[in-house]
Structure formats: structure tokens, C-alpha cells
Amino acid sequence: MSIAKFKVDKAFNIDIEEQYRNPEYELFVEKESTIAQNGLLQVFTLKSKDQSLPRFVGRWDQNKEVIDIDMYDRGRTKPSLDFKKGTPGYSGHHPKRISKDIRTFQVSVEIPNVVIYTGLITFNINWGVDLFEQVSLQATLSHFTQRRTWWKRLFGF
């Protein structure tokens, strides 16, 4: 039995229209991004020149069909919950989608008293297919042993 699973495996034609970027930050975008082994499809990164400031990663969330932006504090591997939950002063985890025909999002990233970035991001996604083949084998083994009694041996039966 074959099983096909469709999933997004690539973002391409990534186009950024920058409206404001904090001078402490650099924006990193590739024209094409493929899905990582951990399943994340990263679209862009905002990194500070100052290592004490957080970095931001924009990734595609296929379940909700949106861009999620995660904030990582210095030295942390897990995203900041303050940013994700929108704790007062933090905003930008879910950019506003302004076009459904093409994937265009209004990105606005802020931390308390600091605007980090505002701009538009537009991109395409590629759907890939994972195929799984299931093979089932069945075997039967029979063995019969005939027991001969003493009288069968004696008379040749």
C-alpha cells in the first residue's frame, strides 16, 4: 500500500520591501529556502550586531498558513514566550496577511520601547510529496513428522 503525504518543502521568490530597520540589526534573506531536517521552513532572520540583543527568525507555519516570527534571547535555543504571547511591549509574532492571492505579509517587530523592523514580505511556496510504501509479507511453514510404532517397523508398514 502506498501513502502520499503533501507538505510545503520550499519557499522561493522571497521579496522584501523594507520600510524601517533598526540600525542595530541586519536582515538575512535568501531567494530560496528549503525545509530543514527539523521541519522548519525559515524565510528570514533579523540579527543584531550587538550580541546582547535578541535575534528574530521568520518561518512558514503550514498549519495556520502564516509567517510566524520567533524571538530568541542571547544564548537561548527556545523562542521567547513574552514575544510569542504578545506580552505588553512585545509584538510581531503573527504578521498581518495583506494578500491571499500572493503570500504578502505586513511585518512589524517590536520589543519594549524599541521598533526592530517594519516591512512587507512576499513569497511563493512549493508543495512536495513524501511517498511511503508499505509491504506486507506472509509465509506459512508446515512440518509433519510421522511416528512409527514398533509393530509398524516389525511388519514393514
Question: Residue 86 has which C-alpha cell?
Answer: 504578545
Contacts of 26 by beta carbon, 8 Å cutoff, 6+ apart:
46, 47, 48, 49
**Per-residue pLDDT for the chain (157 aa), expressed as one digit of tens each?**
667 666 767 788 889 999 999 999 999 987 777 777 666 788 899 999 898 899 999 998 877 788 899 999 877 788 889 999 999 999 999 999 998 778 899 999 999 999 999 999 988 777 776 655 666 667 666 655 556 665 566 666 5
Bridge partners (DSSP) of residue 57 are 45, 70
Q: What is the pLDDT of residue 4?
A: 63
Contacts of 61 by beta carbon, 8 Å cutoff, 6+ apart:
67, 68
Return the C-alpha torsion angle 123, 108, 46, 20, nearest 10: 100
Q: What is the pLDDT of residue 69?
A: 95
Which three-class secondary structure state does DSSP give residue 153? helix
pTM: predicted TM-score of the whole model, two decimal places: 0.73
Q: What is the pLDDT of residue 31?
A: 75
